[in-house]
Amino acid sequence: MTTQGNETLYITTAIDYVNGKPHLGHAYEKMATDAIARAFKAMHVPTYFLTGVDEHGIKVEQNAAKHEKSPKAYVDELTQSFTQLWQHCDVAYDRFIRTTENQHYDLVAQLWQRLLDKGDIYKASYEGKYCTGCEAFLNERDLNETGHCLVHKTTPEIVLEENYFFRLSRYKQPLLDYFESHPDFVQPAFRKAEVVNMLENLQDISVSRSRKAVTWGIPVPNDDEQVIYVWIDALSNYLTGLNYLHADDALFQRFWTTADGHPNAVHIIGKDILRFHAIYWPAMLMSAELPLPKTVFAHGFITLEDAKISKSIGNVISPFEITAEYDLPNADTLRYYLLTCTPFGNDGNFSIQDFKLKVNADLANNLGNLLNRSLSMVNKYFEGDLPVYDANASEPLFADLQEQTALRDAVELAYRAYDFQKVASLLLERVDLANRAINDLQPWTLHKEGQTQRLAALLYSILEAVRLVAILFQPILPNLSQDILNQLGFGTHAFTSFQDIDGLRFSQTEAHRVNPTGPLIPRLDSELVGADKKK
């Protein structure tokens, strides 16, 4: 299957607001987007993956003051905690953007001027309810029955300012028309009605704040008394990330639209900022006469033991803490659990007990045990050299273990649909088939009876199934997949694509030396945790 014609992919995450250190919720979005980007690259689709941080705004300014630091020093320190975590989680982005970059300042100023020249920005006095957590003025529909913000459960402050406004109301019908003609623009599909409902009573929005309220931001061109509102600043990062309006804009020309001019960008965001990405952002792009993204995909929240992750509640947990708790060298097990515990797009829950059960069952007991006992038998019965596959000793079961085209096509379709659960299901089915083959055909009995050729064919076919699984699992399990390939005897082969299924093969003319190094991962049981950690 792989790449289709002139297909390319520009995939982005929301840029994280640096008013605190990253936690499990931040990691979920980045891991999922990374897996999608890795999968499309493995299908030979030219892909550009952008993530980053949003470093402006009143909350940053306030928190910096509390820590007796300048806003720049404060964001420099926090941004490092984000990049360190993404490295630990193997989030292999192509560009990490910071909204304090000079290039971003220049782009935002030029985009502002375009909207102004279009007649879509004007200045007016305004009194409204402002939520510092949302960095937004709220309407009555954004409040609960007690007048609190639906997201942050806090009472918004009443703000009276003279600000600049964007004529969002002008784009109500164009947006409705676009949603109708592009049914896949908002994903998952059940979010579309939610967005259309947001367009009722659409009002113009404030796109600046007075310097009396906030100074940490990009100045409004030709008006030193105003700072550009954080959302028009933050959303523009998707253009900065491709060097739009830069002297060298080759990235923008290649990735913002396909070669034949169709929308190409995919924004992966949390459902709480859907309004800004599915209404504000496309309206601004329409004003600037730029193509809209292909898809805005809003994923759900990850709760922690069924409670919303929140700094105020005190239940924030970092992937660093989870991997350290079980002495794991990387975040692959966490990636696996988060991406397969719930359909991408729905809310999910992180439970320590469920995490251990799922990782133990799927990765340690199922896949890991299959690899370990298969390699042990190659060592025991063939002194570590996987024999040449004898097609004459084959039978239908062996062919099923080695089948690759249908499996690869099905897995690629699942990755294209962001269906990580389906990917895992397809690959674990092959693992189950291999485990059943061992239990049913009993290699130890074949050895005892002297059926050497049939034993060789069976072990070859089982390890061939493991090889296929390792290659196709790589976007979700980059480290474990490489470890499997290393133990299968392929050295430190650098994974490049799903085409390795065809090229990275066991020899059919000479014995292949395997390299078992022990269990794939330890079981995540309490006895593995030190006394201090237990306490």
Q: 3-state DSSP call for residue 214?
A: coil
The active-site residue out of 152, 172, 192, 246 is 152
Q: How many helices (H) and strands (E) does the chain have?
A: 23, 19
Q: How far is CA 208 from CA 72, 161, 334, 399, 403, in A?
A: 20, 10, 40, 65, 59
Locate tokens 């926090």: which residue? Answer: 78
Identify whether 534 is a catalytic site residue: no
The Cα 424–Cα 472 span in angstroms is 10
Identify whether 152 is a catalytic site residue: yes
Identify whether 535 is a catalytic site residue: no
Identify whether 89 is a catalytic site residue: no
Burial bucket for residue 514 (CB in 10 Å: 0-12, 13-18, 19+): buried
Identify whether 341 is a catalytic site residue: no
The active-site residue out of 149, 267, 358, 512 is 149
Locate tokens 């960008």: which residue? Answer: 265
Decide the pairing of beta strands 9-13 and 265-270. parallel
Other C-beta atoms closer than 10 Å to the C-beta of 320 total 18
For residue 234, give the nearest of 163, 134, 324 by alpha carbon: 134
The Cα 26–Cα 312 span in angstroms is 16
DSSP 523: -
Tokens in use for 272?
């709480």
Residue 180 near residue 199 (C-beta atoms within 8 A): no
Q: How far is CA 211 from CA 164, 204, 224, 225, in A?
A: 12, 21, 8, 5
The active-site residue out of 59, 104, 134, 356 is 134
Identify whether 23 is a catalytic site residue: yes
Identify whether 131 is a catalytic site residue: yes
| DSSP codes of every residue in 305-332 | TTEE--TTTT----HHHHHHHTT-SSSH
Q: 3-state DSSP call for residue 6?
A: coil
The active-site residue out of 311, 380, 448, 533 is 311
The dihedral sign for the CA sequence 474, 476, 479, 480: negative
Neighbouring residues of 238: CB distance < 8 A, sequence distance ≥ 6:
12, 50, 265, 267, 281, 293
For residue 241, give the nearest of 266, 209, 221 by alpha carbon: 266
Neighbouring residues of 387: CB distance < 8 A, sequence distance ≥ 6:
456, 459, 460, 511
The Cα 359–Cα 424 span in angstroms is 12
Identify whether 148 is a catalytic site residue: no
Q: Residue 433, CB half-sphere, CA atoms under 13 Å: how many? A: 23
Helix-helix angle 369-382:420-441, to 10 degrees: 40
Residues annotated as catalytic (active site), given as ranges: 23, 26, 131, 134, 149, 152, 308, 311
